[in-house]
């Protein structure tokens, strides 16, 4: 931000005469579309499909949940209609269903609802990558004017064979935090939350040929030989996707990350939903809690 | 090699034999009084329908059949024509001094010369606007700007409001070769592109070539803008200058040794920083200014040799500083160009002219930020510098040879050594004991060798055919690309001409830009082992018709561009996520990972009516065009409209010399709105969920639809101006009053979605347009002595 500041100030200088006003003479095209989110995971016992609607960018809008849709999923031989579960998603329990989720199989999702174009999407579940593991790779101390921050470095190690088809991964971290904020009454208020950071979206060849690290915060110390105060644990996240989910989530993260950067190119989030938005993809999730 | 030598000797023998029974008249054409050489002047012999034009240095050579007496006519727009009857029995050296035509009324009578007509030029897609006419066009804050006048020509589109960037026939601003006294200029803008760096008072000529490029030009895809500085008055000391609302300028020129050598020096500086300084609080100071300096010396060693030394230095400086208790912050942004050229003209014979040039060009920008904080008696300091630099050294030599009347040959070569420092970061951070310094120069060499011939097989047909071989070496890899060029013109009776051209161009250096504002942070980068050169092929077809007072040209063009570069979606030169990202981005190769290559198509037609003579001068231009791009990694691989795609672009320029003391001027422009990417809708996602865990991807997504699918509001504006001239005893002065955006049209500068009225339970977003300039009156004073 320190680097951006001179540029922004310079822009302000140029805008001495600038005026701004709402525009209603140029419509932004908007078509109500179903937004699908469904990630097939062969290791889970359910298929879950979330259906929402997109909201117009301009103007006012209310809730965006679709509740009156018909949602089916097919593996090419059998078709299952998923019942509405409540909240905002449809769910099918695989133990009773006619279809099973298997790697290498292509599934088709269809949905229709009054007021929307019917949507359709396909997804092929990839083969699960094996022999991927995190290896601790040393502790790092970073000094600041309040002492030292201590980090653990974890290296992702690829121990398996080279896959015959390209594989897609995301590497991230998730941790719980507590923060304090002074309220207007002068009292400290404590906030608890969960923070997730995705460090890498990469393909298998990049993981095999490069050393991808995740750095986890362990705590703060006053000197190198001190005890860590308020130690924190972190979950290392590793997700494997099919190409559709990978492209969708990678672009989504990039858009979120660039949200406040006026110098960034727009991030267009791709979709494999015909006549709709969102993603119908596949995922394998791994999680490892580290101190 | 043996084949080339044999071919060369054969050509030489052919031309030598063909010269028997012919004579050559040659010499220089200069402005009477100042001795300023005049480029582009027509020298013709109507009786035999032969003619030529003076080159950049005012030299001409015309080979004609032996004759007892023939009338030779010399003419140029803005000057009184001259003619002499000459006995053409032997080679003649004939210099001409042209008088400026009726300077007060600027009325020009062009007579007796056919080559000033558009229908008689072999070169199409080329427009020259007289400098004096450019100075009459009303301008923002009274700051005369040559590049903004070029924006008013057909086929040339501007960027956003106020910007001087040129988008020519679908090309980006980096695809224009801007040459000042043969030295390339990389960033031609001050103050985000609101003003160009060229001081009109110091310029002698400006020519824009949009297509059908002669083989002597290379290195850019879309245009050549060639500017020549004045040489300086050879007989008397003169000066001119002006005082405007935001800047002042001064030009001084005169002889060093009368009729032998002269100088010209010009300077311009803004003074907004000085005016605002007392108004700013002491704890928050900020300043911005720009300046530019031009200087030129020339020495005439005699009939055969002349030497020119010229230079340009320009800089923009912005800085800020604040101090609140123990917290000091400061920073700035500097950018600027330096160019120098040393040129030697040598006349080997009356048919062979040579110019040899040594060039230096340097462009740099630097962002810096400093802070100093004291906390618990511990002071931490932070210092960041981020810079980008290009440095060029060039040697080039060019030959003009007129062996026989039907042929005019140009040949030459150039070699440039480029050094790029695309992204240099120096970081000192005492907070986390971090010191980073990345300086990774990229050295590359660019060369070109060309041969072109303007051939007149008979008086109605003119052909300019040429071949340029371009060369680029970088990181152990070389690129050799042939660039064929062809231009044809066939003249029909009643001053009609049909013209056609074809040109292949290659571009080895590229501008990475993710802002249409034309920020100086845009990165110039070279072709590398991984980044291929840009290439274009352009064909154009047109007709030209001359009337007694004006000319009309209609041209259609189609241009295909390959390997054009763009930032990937979501990429940015400056990361917003803080220091960590910035230092990661300091990897000298990071820019290569952020870009992607694709292709582009541009096609359309241009209509141009120009009137250069009489009391009323000006032009009407209309462009109908389509520009599309396609990149495998952008917009899902689908075609999309380029940001500067404009379906319709109209400009009307009128200058009326009401009386010798009053000049009225006006311009009106209209352009289809820019194609930009704006979110069309929005939705929430949660990402893959895991039972018992918090979702790891919850976020709100903006759906942009197709890239650049939103059309901004059309741009249109009317500017008017009035000049009052008066001759005083020792000098003449001009007061100019002008209105920029006379009907105060709120043209879009950019758009954003205002979300400030939304509540946690209900969204209420508003599309908001930011406009820069309402009606802006200005007054300026200029003088000349």
Q: Provide the residue count of chain B.
A: 785
Nearest to B636 among A264, A270, A277 (CB): A270
CA distance B148 to B779: 19
Q: What is the largest CA-CA distance in chain B?
A: 106
Average pLDDT value for residue range B160-168: 74
What is the pLDDT at residue B219? 92
Is residue B754 predicted with pLDDT exceeding 50?
yes
* 3-class DSSP assignment, residue A129: coil
Average pLDDT value for residue range B67-94: 84
| Cβ atoms B422, B441 nearer than 8 A | no
What is the pLDDT at residue A14? 47
CATH of the domain at B354: 2.40.170.20
Average pLDDT value for residue range B292-308: 91
Verify that B507 and B624 share a domain, yes or no: yes
B704 contact residues in A (CB cutoff 8 A): 266, 268-269
Instruction: Provide φ and ψ at A13, rounded to 5°.
Output: -60, -40
As given in the structure block, the two tokens for residue A53 are: 């609607």
Report CB contact under 8 Å: B767, A7.
no
Chain B stretch 524-543, residues whose beta carbon is closer than 8 A to a beta carbon of chain A: none
Choosing from B67, B101, B135, the residue where a domain stops is B101
| Cβ atoms B231, B264 nearer than 8 A | yes
Nearest to B694 among A3, A194, A252 (CB): A194
Lowest mean pLDDT among A2-6, A132-136, B406-410, B744-748: A2-6
Verify that B693 and B620 share a domain, yes or no: no
| Cβ atoms B418, B391 nearer than 8 A | yes
**Beta bridge mates, B299:** B261, B307
Chain A stretch 39-58, residues whose beta carbon is closer than 8 A to a beta carbon of chain B: 39, 41, 44, 48, 50, 52-58
Nearest to B765 among A58, A267, A287 (CB): A58
Average pLDDT value for residue range B473-501: 92
Chain B stretch 762-781, residues whose beta carbon is closer than 8 A to a beta carbon of chain A: 762-774, 776
Report CB contact under 8 Å: A261, B576.
yes
CA distance A192 to A178: 4
The full DSSP string for B215-238 is TT--S-SSEEEEEEE----SSS-E
DSSP state of B576: S
Closest CA to A216 of A278, A285, A134, A143: A134
Question: Exposure pattern of A145-166 as b/e (b: 16+ CB <10 Å)?
Answer: eeebbbbbebebebeeeeeeee
Find the helix or strand (DSSP H, E) in which B583 lies. Answer: helix B579-584
Choosing from B37, B71, B101, the residue where a domain stops is B101
Dihedral sign of CA atoms A211, A216, A218, A221 in order: positive
* Domain contains B177: no
Closest CA to B669 of B607, B712, B719: B719
For residues B505, B508, B509, B515, the Cα torsion angle rounded to the nearest 10 degrees is 50
* Domain contains B376: yes
* Domain contains B536: yes
B631 contact residues in A (CB cutoff 8 A): none
Instruction: Name the residue of chain B whose CA is nearest to A60's CA.
Output: B764
User: Is pLDDT larger for residue B6 or for residue A132?
Assistant: A132
As given in the structure block, the two tokens for residue B479 are: 């690129």
Find the helix or strand (DSSP H, E) in which A13 lies. Answer: helix A4-14
Q: Decide if B432 touches A, using CB distance below 8 A.
A: yes
Verify that B688 and B648 share a domain, yes or no: no
What is the pLDDT at residue B583? 40
Q: Decide if B4 touches A, using CB distance below 8 A.
A: no
As given in the structure block, the two tokens for residue A166 are: 């390209």
Whose tokens are 């297509």? That residue is: B211
d(CA A203, nearest CA chain B) in Å: 15
What is the pLDDT at residue B343? 94
**Beta bridge mates, B560:** B537, B601
What is the pLDDT at residue B587? 44
Report CB contact under 8 Å: B702, A7.
no
Dihedral sign of CA atoms B138, B143, B146, B148 in order: negative
Share of chain B above pLDDT 70, in %: 87
Nearest to A265 among B567, B703, B768 (CB): B567
Structural domains of chain A ordered from first start: 32-126+242-283 (2.60.40.10), 132-240 (no CATH)
- Which is it for strands A34-40 and A277-290: parallel, antiparallel or unpaired? parallel
Verify that B365 and B469 share a domain, yes or no: yes
Q: Decide if A133 touches B, using CB distance below 8 A.
A: no
Q: Decide if A97 touches B, using CB distance below 8 A.
A: no
Nearest to A3 among B386, B688, B709 (CB): B386
Average pLDDT value for residue range B71-91: 84
CA distance A127 to A23: 50
**Chain B interface, best mutation among A8, A26, A30, A237, by max B CB count within 10 A:** A26
Report CB contact under 8 Å: B703, A11.
no
Is residue B331 predicted with pLDDT exceeding 50?
yes
Q: Decide if B331 touches A, using CB distance below 8 A.
A: yes
User: Is pLDDT larger for residue B225 or for residue A25?
Assistant: B225
For residue range B671-710, list pLDDT tens digits in order: 999 898 888 898 988 888 877 667 777 788 899 888 998 8
For residue range B112-150, list pLDDT tens digits in order: 344 467 777 778 888 887 787 888 888 777 777 888 888
CA distance A83 to A94: 13
Contacts of B492 (CB under 8 A, 6+ apart): B460, B498
B517 contact residues in A (CB cutoff 8 A): 11
CATH of the domain at B69: 2.60.40.1120
Q: Decide if A250 touches B, using CB distance below 8 A.
A: no
CA dist list (Å): B706 to A52, A270, B601: 21, 10, 18
SS (H, E, C) B331-354: EEEEEEEEEEEEEEEEEEECCEEE
Q: Which residues in chain A show pLDDT less than 70?
A: 1-20, 24-25, 60-63, 95-96, 145-146, 179-191, 223-231, 260-262
Verify that B667 and B689 share a domain, yes or no: no
* 3-class DSSP assignment, residue B3: helix
Verify that B545 and B519 share a domain, yes or no: yes
> In whole angstroms, what separates CA B282 from the centre of its chain?
40
* Domain contains B86: yes
As given in the structure block, the two tokens for residue B30 are: 């200069």
Q: Decide if A245 touches B, using CB distance below 8 A.
A: yes
Report CB contact under 8 Å: A25, B678.
no
What is the pLDDT at residue A6? 46
* 3-class DSSP assignment, residue B639: coil
Closest CA to B298 of B354, B330, B260: B260
pTM: 0.84
| Cβ atoms B627, B600 nearer than 8 A | yes
Q: What range does the domain containing B50 cover?
A: 2-101
Q: Report H helices in B40-138.
A: 131-136
Report CB contact under 8 Å: B582, A3.
yes
Is residue B8 predicted with pLDDT exceeding 70?
no
* Domain contains B190: no
SS (H, E, C) A57-70: CCEEECCCECCCCE
A18 contact residues in B (CB cutoff 8 A): 749, 770-772
What is the interface size between A and B, counted as CB pairs within 8 Å? 251
CA distance A17 to B605: 36
The full DSSP string for B111-157 is -S-STTSGGG-S--SEEE--HHHHHHS--GGG---HHHHHTTSTTEE
CA distance B474 to B418: 10
* Domain contains B195: no
Q: Decide if B760 touches A, using CB distance below 8 A.
A: no
| Cβ atoms B649, B691 nearer than 8 A | no
Dihedral sign of CA atoms A7, A12, A13, A17 in order: positive
> In whole angstroms, what separates CA B315 from the centre of its chain?
18
Find the helix or strand (DSSP H, E) in which B584 lies. Answer: helix B579-584
Number of helices and strands in chain B (H, E): 6, 49
**Chain A interface, best mutation among B245, B366, B431, B570, by max A CB count within 10 A:** B570
For residue range B333-360, list pLDDT tens digits in order: 888 889 999 999 999 988 899 999 999 9
Contacts of B458 (CB under 8 A, 6+ apart): none
CA distance B232 to A256: 58
Verify that B520 and B648 share a domain, yes or no: yes
Report CB contact under 8 Å: B683, A26.
no
Q: Decide if A270 touches B, using CB distance below 8 A.
A: yes
* Domain contains B723: no
Choosing from B60, B78, B101, the residue where a domain stops is B101
How many C-beta atoms lie closer than 10 Å to residue B2's C-beta? Answer: 6
Report CB contact under 8 Å: A25, B705.
no
CA dist list (Å): B714 to B101, B394, B603, B720, B754: 41, 43, 20, 20, 21
Average pLDDT value for residue range B592-618: 90
Verify that B772 and B653 share a domain, yes or no: no
Closest CA to B42 of B50, B32, B52, B57: B52
What is the pLDDT at residue A3? 44
For residue range B526-536, list pLDDT tens digits in order: 898 889 999 99
Verify that B664 and B688 share a domain, yes or no: no
What is the pLDDT at residue A243? 95
Is residue B319 predicted with pLDDT exceeding 90?
no
Question: How many domains is chain B partitioned into structurally?
Answer: 3
Nearest to A2 among B371, B687, B701 (CB): B371
Q: Decide if B662 touches A, using CB distance below 8 A.
A: no
* Domain contains B320: yes
What is the pLDDT at residue B439? 61
Dihedral sign of CA atoms B144, B147, B153, B159 in order: negative
Lowest mean pLDDT among A176-180, B137-141, B218-222, B730-734: A176-180
Verify that B246 and B338 share a domain, yes or no: yes
Nearest to B318 among A6, A29, A174 (CB): A6
Q: Decide if B286 touches A, using CB distance below 8 A.
A: yes
As given in the structure block, the two tokens for residue A131 are: 């022999």
Is residue B104 predicted with pLDDT exceeding 50?
no
Verify that B296 and B411 share a domain, yes or no: yes
What value does the mean pLDDT of chain B take? 83
Verify that B332 and B354 share a domain, yes or no: yes
CA dist list (Å): B132 to B106, B144, B195, B492, B591: 9, 11, 19, 32, 43
């Amino acid at each position: 931000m320190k680097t951006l500041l001179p540029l922004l100030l310079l822009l302000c200088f140029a805008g001495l005469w600038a005026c701004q006003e709402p525009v209603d003479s140029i419509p932004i095209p908007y078509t109500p579309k179903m937004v699908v989110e469904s990630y097939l995971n062969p290791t889970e016992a359910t298929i879950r499909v979330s259906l929402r609607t997109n909201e117009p960018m301009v103007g006012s809008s209310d809730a965006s949940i679709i509740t009156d849709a018909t949602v089916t999923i097919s593996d090419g031989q059998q078709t299952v209609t998923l019942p509405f579960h409540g909240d905002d998603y449809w769910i099918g329990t695989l133990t009773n269903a006619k279809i099973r989720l298997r790697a290498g199989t292509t599934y088709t999702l269809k949905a229709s609802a009054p007021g929307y174009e019917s949507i359709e999407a396909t997804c092929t579940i990839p083969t699960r990558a094996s022999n991927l593991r995190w290896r601790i790779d040393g502790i790092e101390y970073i000094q600041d004017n309040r002492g030292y921050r201590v980090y653990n470095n974890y290296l992702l190690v690829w121990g398996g064979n080279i896959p015959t088809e390209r594989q897609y991964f995301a590497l991230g971290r998730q941790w719980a935090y507590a923060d304090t904020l002074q309220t207007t009454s002068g009292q400290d208020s404590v906030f608890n939350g969960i923070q997730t950071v995705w460090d890498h979206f990469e393909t298998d060849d990049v993981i095999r040929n490069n050393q991808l690290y995740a750095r986890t915060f362990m705590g703060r110390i006053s000197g190198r030989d001190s005890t860590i105060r308020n130690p924190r644990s972190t979950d290392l996240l590793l997700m494997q996707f099919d190409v559709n989910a990978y492209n969708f989530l990678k672009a989504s993260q990039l858009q979120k990350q660039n949200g406040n950067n006026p110098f960034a190119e727009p991030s267009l989030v791709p979709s494999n939903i015909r006549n709709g938005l969102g993603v119908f993809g596949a995922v394998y999730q791994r999680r490892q809690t580290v101190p | 090699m043996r084949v080339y030598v044999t071919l060369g000797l054969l050509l030489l023998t052919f031309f030598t034999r063909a010269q028997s029974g012919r004579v050559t008249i040659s010499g220089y054409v200069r402005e009477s009084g100042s001795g300023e050489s005049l480029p582009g002047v027509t020298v013709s012999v109507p009786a035999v329908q032969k003619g030529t034009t003076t080159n950049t240095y005012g030299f001409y050579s015309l080979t004609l059949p032996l004759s007892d007496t023939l009338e030779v006519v010399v003419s140029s727009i803005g000057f009184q024509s001259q003619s002499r009857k000459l006995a053409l029995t032997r080679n003649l050296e004939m210099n001409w001094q042209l008088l400026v035509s009726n300077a007060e009324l600027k009325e020009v009578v062009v007579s007796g010369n056919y080559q000033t007509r558009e229908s008689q030029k072999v070169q199409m897609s080329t427009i020259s606007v007289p400098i004096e006419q450019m100075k009459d066009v009303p301008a923002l804050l009274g700051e005369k700007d040559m590049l903004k006048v070029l924006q008013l020509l057909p086929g040339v589109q501007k960027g956003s409001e106020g910007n001087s960037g040129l988008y020519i026939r679908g090309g980006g601003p980096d695809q224009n070769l801007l040459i000042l006294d043969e030295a390339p200029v990389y960033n031609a803008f001050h103050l985000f592109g609101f003003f160009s760096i060229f001081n009109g008072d110091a310029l002698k000529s400006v020519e824009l070539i949009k297509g059908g490029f002669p083989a002597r030009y290379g290195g850019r895809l879309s245009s050549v803008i060639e500017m020549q500085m004045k040489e300086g008055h050879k007989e008397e000391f003169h000066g001119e200058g002006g005082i405007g609302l935001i800047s002042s300028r001064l030009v001084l020129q005169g002889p060093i040794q009368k009729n032998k050598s002269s100088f010209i020096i010009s300077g311009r500086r803004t003074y907004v920083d000085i005016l605002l300084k007392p108004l700013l609080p002491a704890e928050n100071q900020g300043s911005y200014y720009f300046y530019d300096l031009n200087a030129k010396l020339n020495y005439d060693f005699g009939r055969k040799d002349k030497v020119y030394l010229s230079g340009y230095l320009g800089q923009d400086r912005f800085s800020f500083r604040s101090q609140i208790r123990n917290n000091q912050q400061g920073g700035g942004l500097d950018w600027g160009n330096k160019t120098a050229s040393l040129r030697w003209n040598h006349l080997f014979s009356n048919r062979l002219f040579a110019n040899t040039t040594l060039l230096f060009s340097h462009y740099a920008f630097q962002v810096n930020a400093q802070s100093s904080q004291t906390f618990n008696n511990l002071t931490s300091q932070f210092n960041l510098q981020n810079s980008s630099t290009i440095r060029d050294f060039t040697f080039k030599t060019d030959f003009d040879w007129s062996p026989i009347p039907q042929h005019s040959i140009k040949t030459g070569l150039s070699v440039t050594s480029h050094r790029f420092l695309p992204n240099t970061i120096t970081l000192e951070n005492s907070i986390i004991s971090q010191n980073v310094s990345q300086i990774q120069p990229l050295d590359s060499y660019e060369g070109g060798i060309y041969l072109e011939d303007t051939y007149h097989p008979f008086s109605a047909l003119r052909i300019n055919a040429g071949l340029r071989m371009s060369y680029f070496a970088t990181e152990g890899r070389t690129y050799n690309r042939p660039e064929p060029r062809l231009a044809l013109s066939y003249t029909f009776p009643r001053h009609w001409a049909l013209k056609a051209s074809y040109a292949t161009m290659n571009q080895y250096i590229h501008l990475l830009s993710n802002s249409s504002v034309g920020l100086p942070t845009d990165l110039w980068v070279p072709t590398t082992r991984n980044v291929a050169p840009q290439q274009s092929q352009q064909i154009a077809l047109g007709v030209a018709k001359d009337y007694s007072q004006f000319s009309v040209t209609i041209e259609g063009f189609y241009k295909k561009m390959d390997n054009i570069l763009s930032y990937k979606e979501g990429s940015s030169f400056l990361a917003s996520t803080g220091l960590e990202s910035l230092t990661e981005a300091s990897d000298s190769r990071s820019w290569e990972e952020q870009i992607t290559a694709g292709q582009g198509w541009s096609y359309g037609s241009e209509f141009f009516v120009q009137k250069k003579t009489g009391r009323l001068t000006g032009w009407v231009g209309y462009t109908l065009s389509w520009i599309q791009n396609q990149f495998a990694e952008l917009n899902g691989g689908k075609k999309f409209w380029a940001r500067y795609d404009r379906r319709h672009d109209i400009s009307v320029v009128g200058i009326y010399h009401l009386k010798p003391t009053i000049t009225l001027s006006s311009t009106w422009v209209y352009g289809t709105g820019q194609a930009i990417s704006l979110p069309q809708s929005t939705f929430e996602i949660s990402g893959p969920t895991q039972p018992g865990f918090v979702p790891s991807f919850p976020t709100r997504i903006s759906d942009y639809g197709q890239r650049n699918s939103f059309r901004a509001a059309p741009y249109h504006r009317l500017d008017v101006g009035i000049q009052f001239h008066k001759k005083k005893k020792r000098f003449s002065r001009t007061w100019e009053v002008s209105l920029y955006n006379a009907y105060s049209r709120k043209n879009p500068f950019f758009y954003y979605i205002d979300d400030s009225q939304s509540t946690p339970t209900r969204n209420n977003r508003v599309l908001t347009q930011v406009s820069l300039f309402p009606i802006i009156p200005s007054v300026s004073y200029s003088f000349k002595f």
